[in-house]
Amino acid sequence: MPKSREIIASVVSAAHDVRNENRTLTWGEDQVLVRVERGGICGSDIHYFLHGRAGMSVLKQPMIIGHEFVGRVVETPSGSQLKIGQRVAINPSLPCNRCSRCLEGKQNLCGQMRFMGSAQFLPHVHGGFADYVAVSEQQCVPYADSSDAKVIAFAEPLAVAIHAVNRAGSLVGKKVLVTGSGPIGCLTIAAALASGAAEIVATDMSERCRLLAREMGAARAVDPGNSDMTDAWQENGGYFDVCFEASGAAAAIASTPGFTRPGGRIVQLGMGAAIPAFPLGLLLVKEITLVGSFRFIDEFATAVRWLESGRINPLPLLSAEFPQSDVVKALETACDKNLAAKVQVVF
Ligand SMILES: [Zn+2]
Ligand SMILES: [Zn+2]
């Protein structure tokens, strides 16, 4: 028998149409009911709010937004390992666990991935911006009562950053460049530092983002328009062992093969459109390895542990928080890159 309760959910119906609505949440015997405490606004939420789409995922029906959230367990399936009242971070990924990608341990590449707050499939998969949400037990990662929910709510974007670090291979003693110092770029800086990188340099056009990059562990943060600097990085075949491209901007993508030393590696994690000119010749003659990085696998649990233990402090990135009643204001604030890095909503 499915159970149900009334909830208040933040629903996007079209571009510039996000409202708090009363809805009925139903859930099955095998699901966990969670009282949501706090959630971070991500780039995809902003895209649904501004354009009614995020990349190739186009809104075709109203959808509850949000995939970066934490809460407390209210109800568990019988025989569950979870305890009532326990604090949990929610992994928004629900892979099929049956396809060949899943069976080889690359669940992030699952073609049937149900990712919360994503309009990729019909019906869309609702997100977690509501006072209550029902999830599967495997999505719940418990965390210590003594931790701050505003810290643990960074688990999902930090998991993206740790996955990118894993795609890079060992960073011990390496010189690292991170192009683009938004929340993902800054968390990649922190994850690279925690993983033994010797020197981390960041770029961003915004001075505010460069300051945050420094706070998150970059030794230097440079305006990509500073050609004295960027020319020097191209001398002797290239300065950096590993470049993380976290901006998705065409100019930044095209610049990374020049900055990377022969035999080095580029990890592309910024979602970019097609770019007019890419120096493929440099990739070839320098034998650079170019790899993509998409979402995360078991790095989600790692991210929760790193945040819980204080190995990474994400709080310099938290720019503002709003109650759910002001969710539209929260989204508008998150849209303005000159004002805000991460904005959270409190439920
Ligand atoms: Zn996210
Ligand atoms: Zn699968």
Which residue ranges make up each domain of the chain?
3-154+314-346, 158-292
* pLDDT tens-digit map of 58-113: 999 999 999 999 999 999 999 999 999 999 999 999 999 999 999 999 999 999 99
119-151 confidence digits (pLDDT tens): 999 999 999 999 999 999 999 999 999 999 999
Is the CATH number of domain 158-292 3.40.50.150?
Answer: no
Q: How far is the CA of 284 from the centre of ligand 1 (A)?
A: 33
> Nearest ligand to the C-alpha of residue 103?
2
pLDDT at 18 over 90: yes
Per-residue b or e along 276-309, where b marks 16 or more CB atoms closer than 10 Å to that residue's CB: eeeeeebbeebebebeebebbbebbbbbbebbbe
What would the pLDDT profile of 230-264 be if each residue is shown by its tens digit? 999 999 999 999 999 999 999 999 999 999 999 99
Expressed in angstroms and rounded, the spacing between residue 122 Cα and the centre of ligand 2 is 17
Place 343 in a pLDDT band, splitting at 50, 70 and 90. very high
Give the start-end residues of each E strand in the chain. 3-14, 17-27, 31-40, 53-54, 57-58, 63-64, 68-75, 87-90, 93-94, 114-115, 132-136, 140-142, 175-179, 199-203, 220-222, 240-245, 260-268, 289-292, 318-323, 342-346
Of 251, 272, 310, 7, the C-alpha closest to 133 is: 7
Q: Do domains 3-154+314-346 and 158-292 have the same CATH topology?
A: no
How many other C-beta atoms lie within 10 A of the C-beta of residue 145? 9
Span from the CA of 182 to the centroid of ligand 2 (angstroms)? 30
- Residue 5's region, left for phi above 0, alpha for psi from -120 to 50, else beta, is beta
* Residues, CB-to-ion distance under 5 Å, ligand 2: 95-96, 99, 102, 110
Vertex 303 angle, CA 239 and 49, to 5°: 90
Residue 43, both tokens: 């780039």
The listed CATH number (3.40.50.300, 3.50.50.60, 2.60.120.380, 3.90.180.10) that belongs to domain 3-154+314-346: 3.90.180.10
What ligand is nearest to the CA atom of residue 47?
1
Over residues 179-193, the mean pLDDT reads 97
Query: According to the model, what pLDDT value does residue 333 have?
Result: 96
Give the Å distance between the CA of 57 and the centre of ligand 2. 19
Cα(127) to centroid of ligand 2, in Å?
A: 20
